Amino acid sequence: MSLLEPTALAWLGILPVLVLLWRTRLRRTPARVSAGFLWERACREARVDSFSKRLQANLLLFLQLLAALALGLALARPSLPVVSGSAAEMALLIDTSASMGARQDGSTRLEVARGQARRLIREAPSGAQILVASCDRSARVLLPFTRDRSAALRALEDLEVREVAADGQAGWALAASLLASRPEVEVFLMGDQPPQTPPPSRLTWIECGGTAANVGLVALRAARDHDGTFPLVVGVRNYGPRPEQRELELRRGGVLLAARRVGLPAGGRQTLRFRLPASGSDLVEARLLGSDALAVDDRAWTVLPRRATLRARVVGPGNLFAERALAAIPGLVLTRSEHPAGEGLAMWQGEVPWPLPPGVHILLHPPAAWRRGERLDQAFTLQPERAPLLNEVPLADLGVAGVTPLNLPPGSEILARAGPHPALALVRQGPATALVLAFDLYRSDLPLSPALPLLFANLVESELGGGRGPVDPESVPGQPLEIRTMEPVWVQGPDTSVRLASEAGRAILPDPDRTGVYQVRVGEKAWPVAMNMLDPRESDLATRRPAPRRARPGPAPTSSSQRSGVAEFWPWLAGAGLLALLAEWLVDQRRRRPERPQDRTP
C-alpha cells in the first residue's frame, strides 16, 4: 500500500488535539444531591467502574478519533497496486522455481500467483485467448492460446513448484517472443524475482510474496584425505533480517554423526568443519532442524569421493613409454588383454579392429582406414592446438618423427600438428572415442617430458570421469543428468524411477526437478548422485525491487489496454469517517435525550 498524498497525514495531528479537548471537557459539572449513598449503590449495581462502562463513557471520544483517523487517512489517498486483465490475448507466465514454494501466512508464493492468475482469467473479457506457461530454469507452455477458460484454470491447478533455480532470462525470453509475435498480447509475469531490466509496456510484473525469514544451507563439500578420512565443510547462511538459531544435524548413511547449534546474525553466514572417518557409508546428509519459510534449502547431501578404480587394457605388444605413462595415473590398473572389447580404456599397439569397438581407445598406430601414405622420416616440431584435452600438457617445441599422414574422418579434433600433418587427434566415431598418435613414440621427445602422462590423465578425466564412475556424484536440479555408459541405466530419484537407454555412450535424465539422492544403477553397480538446491538466489526471500518501467513516448494507452494501476480506497475511508461522525452524533443525541422515566412513585 502506498500513499499518493503523504503530506496529508499531517491532518492526523488533530488526534491529540481531540484528546486534549476531551480531557478539558471532562471537567464535570458539580451537582448537589441529597442521597449520595443511593448513587453509590446505583453505580455499584450499574458497574460504572467496569471496563465496558468506561469504554461506553469514552465512546464519543473513540468515535471522534475514529472519524478523524479515517478522514485523515482518506486525505492521504492510500492506494494499492492492482492489475486487471482486459486484453483480447493474455499470456500468464508463472514462476515455478524453488523459491515459489516459500510459505508465508499459510500459503505458498505459487498459490498466491495462482490466485492472481485465476483473478486475471475471471476478469478477462469474453472471447479472450489465454496462454498459461511456467518458467523456472526454462520456460514451458502448459496451455497454448485458448478461449477455454476452464482449461486455463485446470492448467493453473496443474502447476507445481519445481525444486530448481530460476533462470530469469527463460521467462523473459518467452515473454519477449510473445510480445514480438503477437501485437495484441498482454503478458503477465508472476513470480518473486522481478526482471532486472525495465519491462516493456505490455508486460506486467506481478510480485507474489514479500520478504520472509529463511535460513538455508549454502555449501556441503567433502574431500578425501591421504589417511582415508574425509574433511567435510558445511555452510549455513541466514537470509533473514533477524538473528537466528538453528540446529544442524549431520548423518552418514542415515546414522547421526554430529549435531550442532548454529547461531547466525542477520544476513550472516557460518562455515562448520567436520572430519568423517574412513569407514562407513559414502552418503552424507546435512539437515537444518526447525522450520522456516523455505524447506528445500534445509537439506543437502554429498557423496564422499571414492577411491578411483579404472582398468586399462593393453592390446598387442604394447609400448613401454605409453604403459609407464598410463601406470602413473592414480588408481589405474593396467592389464594385458587380447580381447578387443571391454569397459574402461584400451591402448592399442599395432593393428586396430575396424570399426572401433565402443569405448575409449589410445591408438599408438593409426588404423589403415585413415592412413594417406607411408610414414615420413622427416622430423617435425609439434604445434599444439587450443583444446581442453591439452590443458597443462607441455607439447610445444617437442620433436617427433615417423609421422603417418592421415585422412581423419569428419568430426575429428586435431590436437597437435607435425608440420602440415595431424600428429595428435581425438576422433569420435559412434560410441567409440580414440586418441590417435600419428607418429612413432620411440622417435619423439614425448617420453622425455611429462606431456605424455598428463595427456593420458586428461583423457581419462574427460572421457571416463577420472575413474569415479559413469556419473558425477553431485548435480543440481534442473540440469540434465548425464551418465557415461554403454548399457541401459535405471535411475531412481526421490519421486522418479526411470529406465534410460544409452545413446552414443551416454544416457541422459533430462530434467530432474527434485532435490535428494538419485541412485544410478548400471548393471549390478550403483552410484549415488546428490542433487542439491544450494542457490542463494532461491534461498534469499527478501523482496527485490523491479527495474522501473521506462516511460515510452507516444500516445497514452487506451482504456482497453490499461492493465495495471492503483486502486484508491479513500472514498471508503471517507465514508467510514462520515459514518463514525454520524454514529457519534447519534450516541450524543441519545445521551442528551435519555428515555424519560415513567413517574413511578415508590
Site residues (vs other proteins, CB under 8 A): 25-26, 28-43, 45-46, 48, 56-57, 591-592, 594-595, 597, 599-602
Nearest-approach distance from CB 262 to other proteins, in angstroms: 59
Q: Is 228 exposed, middle or buried (0-12, 13-18, 19+ CB in 10 A)?
A: exposed
Identify each DSSP E strand in 419-563 by its residue range: 421-429, 432-437, 474-475, 481-484, 489-492, 497-500, 506-509, 516-522, 525-531
436: β partners: 363, 425
Distance, in Å, from the CA atom of 479 to the CA atom of 167, rounded to the nearest integer, reads: 12
Indicate the residue among 227 and 595 with the shorter CB distance to other proteins.
Answer: 595
HEC string for 119-179: HHHHHCCCCCEEEEEEECCCEEEEEEEECCHHHHHHHHHCCCCCCCCCCHHHHHHHHHHHH
What is the C-alpha separation between 69 and 567, in angstroms, rounded? 20
For other proteins, the closer of residues 440 and 588 by Cβ is 588
Which is closer to other proteins, CB of 45 or CB of 374? 45
Q: Which residues contact 476 (CB under 8 A, 6 or more apart)?
A: 164, 165, 531, 532, 533, 534, 535
Spell out the long-range contacts of 303-307 with Cβ–Cβ below 8 A and sequence spacing 24 or more: 303/222, 303/473, 303/474, 303/527, 303/528, 303/529, 303/530, 304/222, 304/224, 304/230, 304/276, 305/222, 305/223, 305/224, 305/230, 305/468, 305/473, 306/282, 306/468, 306/469, 307/224, 307/331
For 204, other C-beta atoms within 10 Å of its C-beta total 19
Closest approach, Cβ 588 to other proteins, in A, equals 10
Residue 62 phi/psi, 5° resolution? -60, -45
Shortest gap between Cβ of 587 and other proteins (angstroms)? 10
The letter for the amino acid at 112 is V
Q: Which is nearer to other proteins, 32 or 545 (CB)?
A: 32
For residues 434-463, b (16+ Cβ closer than 10 Å) or e, as one string?
Answer: bbbbbbbbeebbbbeeebbbbbbbbbbbeb
| CB nearer to other proteins: pick between 48 and 542 | 48
Least Cβ distance, residue 14 to other proteins (angstroms): 22
Residue 85 Cβ vs other proteins, minimum distance, rounded to whole Å: 54
- 30/411 with CB nearer other proteins: 30
Closest approach of other proteins to the CB of residue 599, in Å: 6
Residue among 61 and 83 whose Cβ is closer to other proteins: 61
Q: Which is nearer to other proteins, 273 or 593 (CB)?
A: 593
User: What are 413's strand-pairing partners?
Assistant: 426
Sheet holding 525-531, edge to edge: 474-475, 525-531, 516-522, 489-492, 497-500
What's the min distance (Å) between Cβ of 31 and other proteins? 4
- Among residues 374 and 595, whose Cβ is nearest to other proteins? 595
- For 11, the grid coordinates are 491532518
Q: How far is the CB of 582 from other proteins (least distance, A)?
A: 20
* Nearest-approach distance from CB 38 to other proteins, in angstroms: 5
Report how far residue 541's alpha carbon sits from residue 192's, in angstroms, rounded to the nearest whole number: 8
Closest CB to other proteins among residues 53, 122: 53
Give me the least distance between CB of 265 and other proteins, in Å please: 54
| Cα–Cα distance, 591 to 276 (Å, whole number) | 80
Nearer to other proteins among residue 17 and residue 55 (C-beta): 55
Closest CB to other proteins among 17 and 57? 57
Least distance to other proteins, CB of residue 48, Å:
6
In the complex, the smallest distance separating the C-beta of residue 583 from other proteins, rounded to whole angstroms, is 16
16, 24, 318 from 451: Cα distances, Å:
86, 98, 19
